[in-house]
Structure 1
Amino acid sequence: MEVTEINVFPLKSARGFGLSAAEVRPRGLAGDRRWMVVDENHQFMTARKCPALLSILTRLDEHRLTLRARDREPLTVALATPDRRAPVVIWRDEVDACLPDPAADAWLSEVLGQTCYLAYMDERAVRPLAAKHGFDDHVVSFADGMPLLLVNEASVADVSARVGRPIETLRFRPNIVIRGAEAFAEDTWREVRVGDVTFAVVSACARCVFTTLDPITGERDPAGEPLKTLSSFRRHPQKRSDVLFGANLTPLGNGVVRVGDPVTVT
């Protein structure tokens, strides 16, 4: 098995980009989902209810985040942490986040058509991994629940065949994409080594309506695919409301992962 894609999504629910290599840190890949848009009540916003987030392109370098949207001047946000902070809510977690730039708040409010703010998870903003998973000292970014998501190309191909047309891997917003395993082999893994970095496979990933959004345009699939097909054969055996696809990972060490790295179930 080997890595075929590495993806980073700096701003939650916005467009990400591919990399040839990425540093693995305790919260996940460096820069991944460390920014999030929150509404006027400081509740997190996602493309589930605000598909326009997918129209925002992101670019990240060592010192700044750049946001782009159609018919708007690009916005660059410095990564330096100011004293402007506020508690923000993502699911059941409250995080003491940085609000880095009022200009970013105004830019995002215009693009998304509502009052909102840009939140940044700096080193002071700590979000523990949910205690139920048994990794008491692990932390997570503004991802829905886990530091990383792994997707198997063979599993995507299986779903595509069932749907009757190709399904884009990006609909599942994976950080690491692999090939060389049988479809859904990842369901049985408990620990996996990617290059020189070992990850615990915490759980299968519960999927939602986000998978029905075109990863480029944000338009909803009229047939509700691939979630409709996944719902027909990928429901959790006990919690039937959960539709599962992909493997949630948490790192057991730091290092660098690269496209082409070997993948070994340990």
Structure 2
Amino acid sequence: MPNVAPYAAATAVGVIGGAYCAYRLYQQSQHRIPEQWTQVGTLKDIYVYPVKSCQPVKIEQVECTIIGLKKGWLRDRVLMVIDDANNFITARAFPELYLVKPTINNSVLTLSRDGADSIDVDLAEVIANQKSKTATVWGIEVPVYDCGDDASAWFTKLINRPSSTYRLAYYASQNCRDPPKDPRVKVFKFTKNDTGALGDDTSFNLINEASVQDLNSRVGELEITPRQFRPNFVLSGAKPYDEDNWKFVKIGENVFEIVMPCTRCAITTMDPETGARHPDSEPLKTLRSYRLMEGEKMRKVMGTSPRMGLQMSLRSASGGTITLNDPIYVA
């Protein structure tokens, strides 16, 4: 009787190898860049948020990198304020942050706010003189540089919580941080290149102006603007909520995959000009009446957070530029 072991082993190897190849093809197909595109509008606004939870910088042209938008030293959500435990804080609990205005001149970050003296932080000096340490964003450790005692004193005075000290931290990596330990990561199939620097979910966020206008028609006299959703990109020309059906977005020649819808929190209830919270939690209250995730599985994962806008990741090469009025295509 012939020895069948070698044949069985070879067959097993073939099956395993075939299964692996099939899996790799499946993975690749999930992120394959489409060949057919439909123009839905144009790019109306570009916003970069240097410091998490602080004011944006509005610009006309920007570069795309894997961890977010960039223009020289101006980068999206690469700085954050941390507490005594090196954990990030946001305007959800610290509304004082919301009206801090950052500007960038070469490598110098200037922070200002009405009623407070401004402060300059030279980010090049921070990188040159500081060793990285660890801070935490949504339970994930990230490497950061400490921006110094002067910046710490400025934020500590501004926030003014008894016996608490706050420090400004600068992201110390060119790679995306690790995905959070969150069921959404599995449901929406996050990759290691999706989470950006210090933003909540992904590297890029887009809002459809027509969807915001539709929301406005539902909230009475209150005027809602795209800025309340803190997007990177504002799309003009599409139909309301058409974005629910898109898988890819192309701005100019830069291709983004939609990782997940953007679910919204209490920051949307803060006036983008004054930082004041709406007394009736609008527009979040209205959004919850018609924009919750559909299906039992999604509701279990996303809870009562309504969707508005898109969380996206770069799928074309880093270094491409985006300019105001660029055409926006979808697939």
Q: Which category of TM-score, normalised to the shorter sequence, fits these structures?
A: over 0.9
CA RMSD of aligned residues (A): 1.5
Name whichever of 77-86 and 192-201 sits farther off: 77-86
What does 1:27-46 align with in structure 2 at a 5 Å threshold? 27-30=67-70, 31-46=75-90
TM-score (normalised: structure 1): 0.95
Work out whether 1:215 is the aligned partner of 2:280.
no
Query: Which residue is 1:164 aligned to?
Result: 220
The percentage of counterpart residues that share the same residue type is 33
- The one of 132, 148, 157 equivalent to 1:110 is 157
Query: Which residue is 2:16 aligned to?
Result: none
Query: Which residue is 2:326 aligned to?
Result: 261
**In 1, Cα distance between the equivalents of 2:100 and 2:192?**
34
Which structure has the larger Rg over C-alpha atoms?
2
Work out whether 1:251 is the aligned partner of 2:321.
no
Query: Which residue is 2:143 aligned to?
Result: 96
Structure 1's unaligned 5+ residue stretches are none
Query: Which residue is 1:145 aligned to?
Result: 201
| Equivalent residue letter for 2:141 | E
**In 1, Cα distance between the equivalents of 2:46 and 2:275?**
21
**In 1, Cα distance between the equivalents of 2:157 and 2:330?**
46
- The one of 226, 231, 238 equivalent to 1:181 is 238
Higher helix share: 2
Measured after TM superposition, the shift of residue 139 of structure 1 is 4.5
**In 2, Cα distance between the equivalents of 1:92 and 1:42?**
11
| Equivalent residue letter for 1:177 | V
Query: Which residue is 1:65 aligned to?
Result: 109
Superimposed CA distance per residue, residues 218-260 of structure 1 (whole angstroms, 9 cap, x where no aligned partner)? 1110121100000000001232423111000111132111110
Tell me, yes or no, if the aligned pair for 1:26 and 1:139 is still in contact at 8 Å.
no
Tell me, yes or no, if the aligned pair for 2:81 and 2:89 is still in contact at 8 Å.
yes
**In 2, Cα distance between the equivalents of 1:95 and 1:122?**
8
**In 2, Cα distance between the equivalents of 1:124 and 1:189?**
29
- The one of 22, 31, 43 equivalent to 1:3 is 43
What does 1:122-133 align with in structure 2 at a 5 Å threshold? 122-123=172-173, 127-130=177-180, 132=186, 133=189
Superimposed CA distance per residue, residues 102-143 of structure 1 (whole angstroms, 9 cap, x where no aligned partner)? 210111111111310101013367513455333234441111
- Misfit runs of 4+, over 4 Å: none
TM-score (normalised: structure 2): 0.77
Aligned residues: 266
